[in-house]
Amino acid sequence: MFETFLNLEESATVAINSLAQEKKAKGERVYNLSAGEPMLSPHPAVAKVASIAIAEGKTLYPPVAGIPPLRQASAQWLNTTYQTNYQTANTLITCGGKFGIFAACQAFLKPDDEVLIPAPYWVSYPAIVKLFGGKPITVMGDETNNWKVSALELEKLATPKTKMLILNNAGNPTGSLYARTELAEIVSLAKARGWMIISDEVYSGLSYDGEFISLGSFPEITDNLILVQSFSKHFAMTGWRVGMIFAPEYAIKILTKIQGQSTTGTSSISQYAALSALENATEIQTQVCAEMRSRRDALVAELNTFSKEKISAPASGLYLFFPLKILGVENITSAEFCLKILRDANIALVPGSAFGCEGYARASFGAPVEELKDAVSALKKYLKM
Ligand code: GLU
């Protein structure tokens, strides 16, 4: 056996989801509220275009940066939806948003660079930063401010080694939405300090209460901004693996080279499907968002029938991030609790510790309402509440 020199932890969201899927494949009844995905069938137009692409043999290597009509339509979609100003040359199609973040860290981090990461954070940010020798610096958000961090809090933890900020708005796992004024302060700090910002905005289309503001709509920061988007959440296309990066041309060029030396780009079939999703964007996004809103409300209502303290609905995203004490669960770590309920009751939640926040758990509401209700009943039964 060869030794690996990689110091890489497993992704908690992916690991728990895989375990839940394995159990399901064995025929067990599993209540999977782990990985965040809007569980919906593909829109008929998307499915049709994908099968036509196969039938017509559009199945050879696509251009590394993505098929030109998709790059163009993606930039146009972002510009009209979020008041940004990107061209095709600023747009890269990736294997999901995650690979875009991975490639950006690979391209721009050097050993010992410090990266500010507001917490609770999405599980993969610190792991990716460490993979490229960077040092993740956690900036803990305050629950009373919907877990958001201020420019002042970021500044307190900045040092001359700070190179980058990874901001996630709308937030996973918190569902928080940053206001324009809050973003403006962060933008002026980042600009003054010369930081790069990776802005992960993949949940922007799932904003229920309040307005989503894209960092791409601040022209003063676009030279330092890598904006990450994805088809996964907006268009319920997680398994198709199509993401988008919007960035200055110099960044797109290096990220394209990384892609050319690694994935060679994402599936051509998925790219034609994604193009069709953009052609039907308003209809699909409205449907997905409305459906996720009703799933959110159903999960909140179910949990509130027996939780010790009432939880409120997150403003955006796909998750409830709640303290375990509302379930009467104490004196056990979130990881131990989540492992225990998965093993003993086949309920899959992600522990707060994976997001840098002990004492909490994340439940995805991407599954259909009946499934969510069954999961909460199973939880209630397990906890004898
Ligand atoms: N981003 C989703 C989540 O947080 C999908 C799983 C993953 O890639 O981490 O559950």
Separation CA 94–CA 162 (nearest Å): 27
Asked if residue 91 has its Cβ within 6 Å of ligand 1, the reply is no
Examine the pLDDT at 385 and tell me if it is beyond 80.
Answer: no
15 with 119, same domain: the answer is no
Total domain count, the chain: 2
Asked if residue 232 has its Cβ within 6 Å of ligand 1, the reply is no
251 with 181, same domain: the answer is yes
Alpha-carbon distances of 48 from 54, 71, 96, 322, rounded to whole Å: 10, 21, 21, 40
Examine the pLDDT at 269 and tell me if it is beyond 90.
Answer: yes
Q: What is the mean pLDDT of residues 240-249?
A: 98
319 DSSP assignment: E
Examine the pLDDT at 320 and tell me if it is beyond 80.
Answer: yes
Asked if residue 11 has its Cβ within 6 Å of ligand 1, the reply is yes
> Whole domain around residue 146: which residue ranges?
44-280
246 Cα–ligand 1 center, Å: 20
Asked if residue 228 has its Cβ within 6 Å of ligand 1, the reply is no
36 Cα–ligand 1 center, Å: 5
CATH number assigned to the domain comprising residue 113? 3.40.640.10
Asked if residue 189 has its Cβ within 6 Å of ligand 1, the reply is no
pLDDT value at residue 189: 98
- Among 280, 314, 338, give the residue marking a domain's end: 280
21 Cα–ligand 1 center, Å: 14
Separation CA 250–CA 229 (nearest Å): 19
Note the pLDDT tens digit of each residue in 21-43.
Answer: 999 999 999 999 998 999 999 99
- Among 251, 280, 309, give the residue marking a domain's end: 280
pLDDT value at residue 324: 96
Alpha-carbon distances of 70 from 62, 89, 136, 254, 275, rounded to whole Å: 11, 12, 33, 20, 5
- If pLDDT is split at 50, 70 and 90, which confidence band does 7 have? confident
Stated as kind and residue range, the H or E segment containing 108 is: helix 96-108
Residue 13 CA: which ligand 1 atom is closest? 9
Note the pLDDT tens digit of each residue in 184-235.
Answer: 999 999 999 999 999 999 999 999 999 999 999 999 999 999 999 999 999 9
Q: Which residues contact 109 (CB under 8 A, 6 or more apart)?
A: 115, 129, 132, 133, 134, 163, 164
Residue 12 CA: which ligand 1 atom is closest? 9
145 DSSP assignment: G
pLDDT value at residue 22: 93
- Among 225, 245, 280, give the residue marking a domain's end: 280
pLDDT value at residue 374: 97
Asked if residue 222 has its Cβ within 6 Å of ligand 1, the reply is no
- If pLDDT is split at 50, 70 and 90, which confidence band does 5 have? confident
Asked if residue 363 has its Cβ within 6 Å of ligand 1, the reply is no
Tell me the percentage of the chain whose pLDDT exceeds 70: 100
Note the pLDDT tens digit of each residue in 122-159.
Answer: 999 999 999 999 999 999 999 999 999 999 999 999 99
371 with 263, same domain: the answer is no
Examine the pLDDT at 9 and tell me if it is beyond 90.
Answer: no
pLDDT value at residue 116: 98
Residue 35 CA: which ligand 1 atom is closest? 10
Q: What is the DSSP string of 195-244?
A: -EEEEE-TTTT-B-SS----GGG-GGGGGGEEEEEEHHHHTT-GGG--EE
1 Cα–ligand 1 center, Å: 31
Q: Which residues contact 169 (CB under 8 A, 6 or more apart)?
A: 176, 177, 178, 183, 199, 200, 201, 204, 212, 213, 215
Mutate which of 122, 200, 319 for ligand 1? The one with the most ligand atoms within 8 Å of its CB, which is 122
Note the pLDDT tens digit of each residue in 88-114.
Answer: 999 999 999 999 999 999 999 999 999
What pTM was computed for the model?
0.96
CATH number assigned to the domain comprising residue 24? 3.90.1150.10
Residue with tokens 């990736």: 94
pLDDT value at residue 224: 97
- If pLDDT is split at 50, 70 and 90, which confidence band does 373 have? very high
10 with 119, same domain: the answer is no
263 Cα–ligand 1 center, Å: 19
34 Cα–ligand 1 center, Å: 8
- If pLDDT is split at 50, 70 and 90, which confidence band does 71 have? very high
295 with 341, same domain: the answer is yes
- The distance between the two most distant Cα atoms of the chain, rounded to a whole number of Å, is 59
196 with 106, same domain: the answer is yes
289's tokens: 């968002």
135 with 236, same domain: the answer is yes
129 with 10, same domain: the answer is no
- Nearest-CA residue for atom 4 of ligand 1: 36
Stated as kind and residue range, the H or E segment containing 25 is: helix 12-25
Q: Quick one: which of 254, 258, 196 has its CA closest to 227? A: 196
Stated as kind and residue range, the H or E segment containing 273 is: helix 268-279
